[in-house]
Structure 1
């Protein structure tokens, strides 16, 4: 079996909802990071790219159903390069990486371009169709930005609660306090601010032409648990813990990376950043959705033959502080090794566009 490696990675700065990147279509965001990562490969003949696989969680609007193909064409790559879009919601671009690594392992591909793109600002409203062409009464618009829409009535009510209420239930079940959530969130902001100030993201982030955004827009340097404690809870008026300050914000952005075989180093003209040693996925009761990474990571480590004691750094999506803390506590790992350069609570969470962070600058 061929081994799969991660090569260079790039992303846009992440914009706040309705702000820095709101004027940019999601297919243009995808095209930007595709074009940028290709530009950064000094020896690349683009004809050697086997396929483009991108994650996208919306797909209802300007993505035109297949943002990977749209971005590939808009970036000016050869029309012969296929594009596939995958949707595992917040894990979509991770799934893109998994799909690509499997193709490399199987010998079906040598070099894959993967990533994710999401514009939550530009997610359209949808109007349900009915059996009758001219139904009586009113029809209700549904936003596709986040969460449930057009829910099947056969679904149990506990499965179709809001993400925030699901997080409240998770916090309740696993004993994650409001104070712990606020402390975690303040730390995310301060780590992200320090990483930017130290130049960690300088070679990773590629600003989008025509916009003024050069850094992640949501970071609040100098954040503290004391300041966050003053915010009102959003999903529960009484005994709630989740606020706008300890949850990730709605965001826009895109990211891309190379996944390739060992021989892809010669194609790209750069050394690999990491080897993909194991993969895992897991699902659980939807009302506790945020706990699924616990077993997913455990499965991946088991397949790689690695114990938690051997892990020195963890990148965990911070959808909500409560969800992140529940996972970290379940693993029994030191909080200091998690998201050492900040996380989604600070930088933003454009659903399918994961940050593609790594320690150290990309190869040049």
Structure 2
């Protein structure tokens, strides 16, 4: 009964950068979700031991503490911010789960938040250069942006443009169907009148996707060649704003609250070639599956960050996943990819899918991360 469990998983709608949340700072996005989760677990009568939030492109400082104060959790509630780039939100939950398992905390709110709209550019004083992101790796190592790296991965693994476009069309179609059926409603926390995900488009079918030009064709890739490319804006995610969080506590406390819960069965991080960051989720997923003592075919649910169709398909091929199980209600290609929040969004989606289904098989959430890292978690329903 001391095993860590996830309850009250919530998220904001995901907004396309520069649109509905254009003026919302990252703490302004996180605060409503933290408040909603705190309200859901308040009947336990416990203090919140900590708030752990992932964030990778924000203003600096301790976003978690600022957001906790803004959420009205009280000056006595601490907060700490985690940066594992696109895996930050999942890592935050992993850290919270470890503390609950160890007995160092009884109730932690964990997740992630990102505002692409208000993320600052970075200035390097020695060169005067400005960049939208910090380095993924030091000088002497490959440090590609994720788009060109996804293009190279697609070439190396023989993932065609047609297969990528088909995946993107699937993502939009499933997200639109889920949105129309109200599938997302229970997990969403409206923020200043924004109550729906902004990005899913019914018109993103194969015909429309075929019109997109390769987004990175100008890159001189040693494998793909100059002017080659299969990754487009259509089969990639969008820059996005959003937040997601959940309470991490013990199974005993979850039962006392009467809340449906997911037990954290195993988790893992991994690292590999910085030149192929899109493949990072594969070794992390394999490690988590091994720790859980299960094989890929025993999974019932899978959520992978759809930063690019190419990398989702490469990871699926590498691990031997059933593609039909991945992102059953659409993923980041349709919904958006709020970097530091995305790992937590995967867990919110897993919770919604698993707790609303009679299938008792476990679920996998996994992210590939800039710089060649990966992170994964296996969860299962608490009976």
TM-score (norm 1): 0.89
Report the Cα offset of residue 192 of structure 1. Answer: 0.6
Report the Cα offset of residue 114 of structure 1. Answer: 0.4
In structure 2, the partner of 1:135 is none
Give 1:221's match in structure 2, choosing from 197, 202, 208: 202
Aligned residues of 2:279 and 2:315 also touching (Cα < 8 A): yes
1:342 aligns with 2:333: no
Q: SS state of the match for residue 81, structure 1?
A: coil
1:53 aligns with 2:36: no
Report the Cα offset of residue 38 of structure 1. Answer: 1.7
Aligned residues of 1:320 and 1:345 also touching (Cα < 8 A): yes
Report the Cα offset of residue 102 of structure 1. Answer: 0.6
Report the Cα offset of residue 143 of structure 1. Answer: 2.8
Report the Cα offset of residue 141 of structure 1. Answer: 3.0
In structure 1, the partner of 2:118 is 122
Call closer, same or farther: CA 1:148–1:226 in 2, change over 3 Å.
farther
1:293 aligns with 2:281: yes
Aligned residues of 1:127 and 1:139 also touching (Cα < 8 A): yes
In structure 2, the partner of 1:177 is 160
Q: Deviations over 1:65-106 (max 9, x none)?
A: 111100111111122221010000110010011101111111
Q: SS state of the match for residue 295, structure 1?
A: helix
Report the Cα offset of residue 28 of structure 1. Answer: 1.1
How far apart, CA to CA, are the structure 1 residues paired with 2:189 and 2:323? 29
In structure 2, the partner of 1:191 is 174
Where in structure 2 are the equivalents of 1:273-292 lying within 5 Å?
A: 273-292=261-280
Greater C-alpha radius of gyration: 1
Aligned residues of 1:38 and 1:44 also touching (Cα < 8 A): no
Report the Cα offset of residue 250 of structure 1. Answer: 0.2
Report the Cα offset of residue 283 of structure 1. Answer: 1.0
Report the Cα offset of residue 37 of structure 1. Answer: 1.5
How far apart, CA to CA, are the structure 1 residues paired with 2:356 and 2:75? 31
Report the Cα offset of residue 148 of structure 1. Answer: 4.4
CA RMSD of aligned residues (A): 1.9
Q: SS state of the match for residue 72, structure 2?
A: coil
How far apart, CA to CA, are the structure 2 residues paired with 1:17 and 1:224? 22
How far apart, CA to CA, are the structure 1 residues paired with 2:130 and 2:296? 46
Report the Cα offset of residue 169 of structure 1. Answer: 1.1
Aligned residues: 342
Call closer, same or farther: CA 1:266–1:333 in 2, change over 3 Å.
closer
How far apart, CA to CA, are the structure 2 residues paired with 1:28 and 1:53? 16
In structure 1, the partner of 2:379 is none
Unaligned runs of 5+ in 1: 131-137
In structure 1, the partner of 2:371 is none
Where in structure 2 are the equivalents of 1:259-278 lying within 5 Å?
A: 259-265=248-254, 269-278=257-266
TM-score (norm 2): 0.85
Where in structure 2 are the equivalents of 1:18-29 lying within 5 Å?
A: 18-29=18-29
In structure 2, the partner of 1:3 is 3
How far apart, CA to CA, are the structure 2 residues paired with 1:121 and 1:287? 27
In structure 1, the partner of 2:212 is 231
Report the Cα offset of residue 208 of structure 1. Answer: 0.3
Report the Cα offset of residue 127 of structure 1. Answer: 2.5
Report the Cα offset of residue 206 of structure 1. Answer: 1.0
Call closer, same or farther: CA 1:270–1:155 in 2, change over 3 Å.
farther
1:66 aligns with 2:62: yes
1:312 aligns with 2:267: no
1:206 aligns with 2:189: yes
Report the Cα offset of residue 361 of structure 1. Answer: 5.8
Where in structure 2 are the equivalents of 1:139-150 lying within 5 Å?
A: 139-144=128-133, 148=135
How far apart, CA to CA, are the structure 2 residues paired with 1:318 and 1:56? 18
Unaligned runs of 5+ in 2: 219-226, 358-383
How far apart, CA to CA, are the structure 2 residues paired with 1:161 and 1:310? 35
Q: Deviations over 1:252-299 (max 9, x none)?
A: 0111101111122256x2334211101111111111111111110111
